[in-house]
Amino acid sequence: MISVSLSWIAEKVEGSLNTKSVEELQIKGVSTDTRTLEPGDLFIALVGPNHDAHEHLFKALEKGAAAVIVNRLVDCPLPLILVDDTKIALGKLGAAVKQEVNPKTVGITGSSGKTTVKEMVASILSVKGKVLFTKGNYNNDIGVPLTLLRLEKQHEYAVIEMGANHLGEIAYTTNLVKPDVATIVNAAASHLEGFGSLFGVARAKSEIFKGLGTTGTAILNRDSQFYSFWEGKTSHLNCLTFSPESEDGDYHAEDIAMGMDGCAEFELVCPAGRAAIRLSIPGTHNVGNALLAAAMSICVGASLEEVQLGLFNMREVGGRLNVKQLTNQVRLLDDTYNANVASVNAAIDLLATFPGNRVLVLGDMAELGDKASYYHEQVGEYAKSKGITSIYSIGVLSHYASEVFNENGFHFDNKESLVSMLNENLFGEQRDISILVKGSRSSKMELVAKAIEESPVGKFERRRERIAC
């Protein structure tokens, strides 16, 4: 964070400082968690449904906090800034720091793919200059301002991911971010308990365009069923479109070819010209993500050459559709970070491109509301239509997907039984096998992926290699 005075902070959060003697005290970091608080940090005492950080002020003092922001007067020897709402104060402070640094800013939301697009844009812009981008899952009404507070004077670009599970959340965060260019990657069945319907998702995501000024640029998914709705929301803005499926997009792809590693090569066609693109992460859906990342990066000053290099240099994102060749016969597609209908179908598309036995290992997709069983059955139907050989499922809802496969659908009560059956049914045979592991965070499917990696799958292969030597 940039170094600012305590009086500057009090002004920006519209709070009152309890003593003038420390007005010029310099703050270089902000924390909302005493476990990670560094000496000299400003501690903001957030209040939530199940916690009140005002109870930890003396812990903050012990850890070396320089001052605190509170919503009520408390008995604490540290300098206090009193505000009405500490969460709103956090947001105001993040927005003020962002305005002070004033980087070119990219805002990204969507039901799936937003983290991959964010990483792509960050990789492209890193070729050009200093970039701050969202780390991990810091994309909600707490994480976004904490991300903005990480800005330093040297940052020329900021790439901010914005998620939500209810209406109004993206409107709030995008008003803090005030991006120069913003997009919705897609809208799919996700967090339906908070949004009520698929249209509710599309409406909530469209809030990102409210933070764009008259000189900002909106980039729309030309292939989305909600394209016309979003176009209406952005009629007063400069708009560009992307489409991996047709030439209708301002940014589109030609001559798409998939490599043996599942990574795509294609010709990027856009207003800036043409460029040959080679992706380093697998999946046909990443062609669309790359087109979008290119559009956003070029809008804030990147060249086609920087787009080429940035996309090629991008490294895999943990838990997001990584292809791991376990043996000559067995490959694991680890896509365990999260799941909704769109992201599961995209992963199935990649699985379907590999030869041999194609296996989907599926955990429950969460927060799908009253139609959750229907969406799981729909995923099963889609997998079957793409030629997937079998499904191994675990969870309360995923059996609706495996039931579609009849005798080739297997459902389990625990992960140990699932992995044991995979070992018994698949790994003893000498044939090409591709296994996709997918599920929502609550399903903890990363444990299944790890168990598969640590299973006896490679024993025969390693023994054969030793004999050959």
**Annotated binding site for ATP: which residue ranges?**
110-116
Looking up tokens 């003092």, which residue turns up?
Answer: 61
Its sign, for the CA torsion 129, 132, 137, 141, is negative
Structure tokens of 273? 């010209």
Structure tokens of 130? 């200093």
Spacing of C-alpha 7 from chain mean position = 35
Spacing of C-alpha 282 from chain mean position = 16
How many C-beta atoms surround the C-beta of residue 187 within 10 A? 27
- Beta strands 357-363 and 390-394 are parallel
> Closest Cα to residue 111, out of 394, 396, 345, 446?
345
With contact defined as beta carbons under 8 Å apart, do 282 and 258 qualify? Answer: no
With contact defined as beta carbons under 8 Å apart, do 452 and 419 qualify? Answer: yes
Task: Say how many Å lie between the first and final Cα of the chain, rounded.
Answer: 56
How many helices (H) and strands (E) the chain has is answered by 17, 24
Q: Kindly report the CA angle at 382 between 378 and 386, in degrees rounded to 5?
A: 170
Helix residue spans in 196-284 (DSSP H):
198-205, 227-233
Say how far apart CA 396 and CA 428 lie, in whole Å: 29
Binding residues: 110-116
> Closest Cα to residue 363, out of 322, 401, 393?
393
Full DSSP string of 129-152: S-EEE--TT--STTHHHHHHTT--
Backbone angles phi, psi at 396, to 5 degrees: -75, -35
CA distances from 293 to 184, 187, 229 (A): 12, 17, 22
Structure tokens of 60? 């903050």
